[in-house]
Amino acid sequence: MKGKKKSSLIFMVFVGILLWGPSVQAEEVTNSGIKYWLTVNEKDNICYVTGYNASTMSSEVSIPETISKNDKSYTVVGIGYHAFKDCKNLKSISIPEGLKEIDTEAFYGCSSLEKIAIPSTTNSIDQTSFKLCDNLTEIKVDENNESYYDLEGVLFRNDPNLTVGDENRAIRILMCYPGGKTGDTFKLESDMVCDGSNPFMNNHNLKSIVVDPSNEWFLSDDGVLYEKVSYQNRMTTWLYACPAGKTGKVSILDGVETIYLDAFYGSYASEIIIPDSVTSARPSAFVGCSNLEKLSIGKGFDDVTHALEFSSYKKLNSIVVSPENKTFTVIDGILYNKEGTKIIYCPKSVTSATVSSAVTAISENAFINCSDSLVLTVEKNSCIFEYAESMGIKYKMKEKEADKTEEKEADKTEEKTDIAKKGEILVNNKSKYKVTSSNVTNPTVSYIKSTNTTAKTITIPDTVKVNGITYKVTSVAANALVNNKKVTKVTVGKNVTSIGKNAFKKCTKLKSVTLKSTSLKSIGSNAFYGDKNLKTITIKSSKLTSKSIGKNAFKGTNKKLTVKVPKKKVKDYSKFMKKRGNKNVKVKK
């Protein structure tokens, strides 16, 4: 292949140039349920589609060539980032001549969309534009389009710089194989290559991909597509795509070192065998494998990018790991990290297991698909003991306690007065805490995480009682609720003196926060970063200073954010809180 692969032009870069160029004016309008961003500069009046209103938009949409506003006409030139994302009722859409660009994931998750036609003027389509359009049967391209074309409804891209052979034949670049296209086999011809990540993603009709033996860049084995890659000055093989409709056992070709992004997305395979040669996989490589029953992991595999998404493996009964693997191990059928200190996943087939007190961490979805018959054997004062109690998992104690003699009762009382060691993880009421002090008279903990993934209201308590010991909650750890997309209200207890960096970062639905502590001395950098709906923070403490609130603590919060503070601190706090990322913040008593 001559030349280099050319990535799609990012539409938002184009928009940025328009928005920030000379004499630019812009505004948003909605027309027939479709949102448009109108821009005016010295040369053009143009607009692009930015979103939709599901309640007023028709299932059959026709985007006009122009939009009128205040006696001005605006040419529609693009469909923007996430414009129709997850629009479930959209069945058909007509795209006008003149439209030039379709941006990243513009139609992502439009599960009812059946057909789409690309006009001759479109010269930039992101490879992810039609991702997870599961009923899309074809993408047709106007025959006069110089940048794109289709072969039986499959989208291809032109690139004059990419040629093959002495006769300089143009290489056919496959961009998107529609998610609902029929047919169980696709052949990658000798002059075809694939662009970006898995273009066959989530098409459950497709069971096999075969490759012409003379293709220089790809090969297939048992219907699975692999790419020949020049990596670190040597040739190697990567698994590119497993057809989602392929069932039964998939044995990854020995010698493969890496698995591409989304390679097994939505796979119907019941068994996947990862050989010793595989050392890594890209993010989302194994997402949505809903039929997976058995997973075998070779000695080299290290899921450093979280390629495995166990929460979607509802049928997974067996996990086998090579004894030589340096990242994972299996104990009593449960997947652990190599050190045996963290539980990663418990398959549905496991009905009994003994968990050591050495376990100090448990993955968020470790028991999400576990059997209702599961009974864990645990030790008192252990992380798993508190976790099982808080999550309603059946358990029994390692030491039999059926005969409750006076001696046993004495032992029980003694155990309840044992304070956890500094650094130990405690679990209580679907929350995790880390012991920060084992002082007999004043034991303390830091709130580190909520294990309740659906809670809309979260209260970080004044104290927490575990095994008869009451610990003061004196801090909120860094990243405690980062990226929580459910919580709308947070209350922080009266003993908290510090809030770590990123503690509530990108809690996009968070609306109000109450900080009850009058002893709060610090709020870390980016603590409320990106909380776009956060409108109210109530602070009881008078001990915060310009140096104790970190950089960008309020950046990305709502423009109408109000911070309520003690009356005597309104003037003082106003001076520096506006400099922490939201210049519009209003500070009042």
The rounded distance, in Å, linking the Cα atoms of 378 and 394 is 10
Nearest to 360 by CA among 404, 422, 316, 426: 426
| Residues 452 and 583 occupy one common structural domain | yes
| Residues 337 and 306 occupy one common structural domain | no
| Residues 189 and 311 occupy one common structural domain | yes
Structure-block tokens of residue 10: 């990012």
Per-residue model confidence (pLDDT) at position 24: 55
Amino acid at site 153 = G
Tokens 């979280």 belong to: 306
The CATH number of residue 282's host domain is: 3.80.10.10
Nearest to 194 by CA among 237, 242, 227: 227
SS3 category, 291: coil
| Residues 367 and 459 occupy one common structural domain | no
The rounded distance, in Å, linking the Cα atoms of 481 and 477 is 9
| Residues 319 and 385 occupy one common structural domain | no
The rounded distance, in Å, linking the Cα atoms of 217 and 236 is 11
Q: Is residue 51 part of a domain?
A: yes
Pairing of strands 172-176, 163-164: unpaired
| Residues 377 and 494 occupy one common structural domain | no
Q: Is residue 145 part of a domain?
A: no
Between the CA of residue 131 and those of 75, 191, 197, 199, 566, what are the distances in Å?
A: 27, 24, 11, 8, 51
List the helix and strand counts (H, then E) for the chain.
4, 48
**How many structural domains compose the chain?**
4
End of a domain among 371, 404, 437? 404
User: Is 514:492 a contact under the CB 8 Å cutoff?
Assistant: yes
| Residues 528 and 580 occupy one common structural domain | yes
Nearest to 328 by CA among 370, 299, 308, 354: 299
Domain of residue 348, residue span: 331-404
Residue 488 CB neighbours (<10 A): 16
Nearest to 547 by CA among 580, 513, 503, 500: 580
| Residues 433 and 553 occupy one common structural domain | yes
| Residues 441 and 580 occupy one common structural domain | yes
| Residues 24 and 126 occupy one common structural domain | yes
Contacts of 306 by beta carbon, 8 Å cutoff, 6+ apart = 283
b/e sequence 178-204, b meaning 16+ C-beta within 10 Å: bbbbeeeebebebbbbbbbbbbbbbbb
| Residues 353 and 305 occupy one common structural domain | no
Q: Is residue 432 part of a domain?
A: yes
Contacts of 239 by beta carbon, 8 Å cutoff, 6+ apart = 224, 225, 226, 252, 253, 256, 258, 259, 260, 263, 278
Q: What percent of the residues of the chain are helix, what percent strand, and what percent coil, each to the nearest 5?
A: 5, 35, 60
| Residues 369 and 442 occupy one common structural domain | no
Q: What is the CA radius of gyration of the chain?
A: 28
Amino acid at site 371 = S
Tens place of pLDDT per residue across the chain (589 aa): 434 333 333 344 444 444 444 445 678 899 999 999 998 766 789 999 999 998 899 999 999 999 998 888 999 999 999 999 999 999 999 999 999 999 999 999 999 999 999 999 999 999 999 999 999 999 999 999 999 999 999 999 988 787 665 566 789 999 999 999 999 999 999 999 998 899 999 999 999 999 999 999 999 999 999 999 987 788 999 999 999 999 999 999 999 999 999 999 999 999 999 999 999 999 899 999 999 999 999 999 988 778 899 889 999 999 999 999 999 999 999 999 999 999 999 999 999 999 999 999 999 889 999 999 999 999 988 999 989 988 889 999 986 544 444 444 444 444 444 788 898 899 988 899 999 998 888 999 999 999 888 899 999 999 999 888 999 999 999 999 999 999 999 999 999 999 999 999 999 999 999 999 999 999 999 999 999 999 999 999 999 999 999 999 999 999 999 999 999 999 999 988 999 999 999 999 8
Nearest to 456 by CA among 533, 374, 545, 550: 533
Per-residue model confidence (pLDDT) at position 405: 44
Q: Is the dihedral of CA 348, 351, 357, 358 positive or negative?
A: negative
